[in-house]
Amino acid sequence: MLQQTQVERVKDFFTRFIARFPDVRALAAAREPEVLRLWEGLGYYRRARQLHAAAKVIVADHDGRFPRTAAELRSLPGIGRYTAGAIASIAFDEREPIVEANSRRVIARLVGHSGPLGGTAGDEPIWEIARRLVPARRPGRFNQALMDLGAMVCSPERPLCGTCPLAAKCVANREGLVATIPRKAERRAVQRRHETAVVAVRRGRVFVVRRGDGEWWAGLWDFPRVPGRAARAARGIAACGRLGGLRCGVTARLGTVVHTVTHHRITLDVVRCAADRVGTAAADCRWVTPRQLAALALTSPARRIARLLRL
Ligand code: SF4
């Protein structure tokens, strides 16, 4: 939960999640929709699906016992080099390095590494240095200290070099390179686009689709979408594959929901349509009552759309 998310935001989600799934067997036995529902609002849903998948692997392949080495941990879904190193060193005292935003910055400044950082290739030199630095004794303490130093002393904009315990050994400090290391990453330009969300209504039920693997919000439920603004999209609605041949006419504009996914800023016109028949809905599509809709794990834009509805 803490990947890409701050502690304050995670607290309540964590408490609810642990209350429902107090151990790995309880999580492994759960159905995915329930796991996603408890995650709803926290974002990055891939984490929830992979956590769930990892719990199943731990129960099936490790008899419910959590793996203790970084190598074993990395065979679990959703656990990469950083997470494996963090768990192995902090929980099991294995001599494994951790490179994340804070320790990466400290190490880059410490050795005067002015190359681009980020991504597998960019971070490889830092991993190599971290691997040599981490001690056999209390490796977890060392890794946490490095991360804390980055968070509290060697901050991105105003590092406190005057009080830093590494100041005497720090190349960036000695050579006046602190402001230029790490090298700033080029920001990706924001892509803007319009889409239309179709709220098809029939006999008090609305039509929802589940986002597939490889899509944003995979596994969560959403309203079908067609490209373009509402006016232009109206004719395209009948042709929307996810509606399964459903025919419907736009009866009202419900509003606009603007949301951002990665570097995409999407303006989503929301239209209500009266469906003349149920259609031959594909798998992962459903007609649901307002009550069922409230209980589904929805994408965040779909949750906002649900609030616009008066069913
Ligand atoms: S001396 Fe300054 S730049 Fe170097 S590690 Fe310490 S805080 Fe960071």
Give the gyration radius of the chain's Cα atoms.
Answer: 24
Q: Which helix (H) or strand (E) holds 45?
A: helix 45-62
pLDDT of the residue at 274: 81
The CA distances from residue 20 to 17, 205, 299, in Å, are: 5, 30, 21
Q: Average pLDDT in the 273-302 region?
A: 81
110 lines ligand 1 (CB under 6 A): yes
Amino acid (1-letter code) at residue 99? V
The CA distances from residue 203 to 93, 206, 222, 304, in Å, are: 60, 8, 19, 22
Q: How far is the CA of 1 from the centre of ligand 1 (A)?
A: 29
Whether residue 275 is predicted with pLDDT greater than 90 in this model: the reply is: no
What is the reported pTM?
0.69
Atom of ligand 1 lying closest to residue 167 CA: 1
Selection from 50, 131, 120, 66 nearest residue 98 by Cα = 131
Atom of ligand 1 lying closest to residue 161 CA: 2
The Cα 53–Cα 36 span in angstroms is 12
Q: How far is the CA of 122 from the centre of ligand 1 (A)?
A: 21
Question: Which pLDDT tens digit goes with each residue over 178-224?
Answer: 999 998 777 788 999 999 998 988 888 898 988 888 888 888 899 98
Mean pLDDT of the chain: 89
Count of CB atoms situated within 10 Å of the CB of 234: 18
| Residue 264 phi, psi dihedral angles, 5° rounding | -100, 130
Is pLDDT larger for residue 162 or for residue 238? 162
The Cα 162–Cα 8 span in angstroms is 30
pLDDT of the residue at 164: 98
User: DSSP strand E in 219-263: where?
Assistant: 221-222, 225-227, 248-261
Two tokens, residue 298:
């929805």
User: Residue 232 — pLDDT band, cuts 50, 70, 90?
Assistant: low
Is pLDDT larger for residue 43 or for residue 293? 293
The residue contributing the CA closest to ligand 1 atom 8 is 154
Q: Which of 19-28, 81-90, 131-140, 254-263 has the lowest mean pLDDT?
A: 254-263
DSSP 14-34: HHHHHHH--SHHHHHHS-HHH
Whether residue 74 is predicted with pLDDT greater than 90 in this model: the reply is: yes
153 lines ligand 1 (CB under 6 A): yes
The Cα 46–Cα 44 span in angstroms is 5
Q: Which of 102, 106, 129, 180 for a ligand 1 pocket mutation test, highest count of atoms within 8 Å of Cβ? A: 106
pLDDT of the residue at 239: 47
pLDDT of the residue at 133: 96
Two tokens, residue 276:
């003349």
Atom of ligand 1 lying closest to residue 159 CA: 7
Whether residue 243 is predicted with pLDDT greater than 60 in this model: the reply is: no
Q: Which of 161-175, 218-232, 244-258 has the lowest mean pLDDT?
A: 244-258
173 lines ligand 1 (CB under 6 A): yes
pLDDT of the residue at 83: 93
Distance from first CA to last CA of the chain, Å, rounded? 34
Q: Which of 50-54, 65-69, 147-151, 285-289 has the lowest mean pLDDT?
A: 285-289
pLDDT of the residue at 233: 61
Is pLDDT larger for residue 129 or for residue 118? 129
The Cα 24–Cα 55 span in angstroms is 6
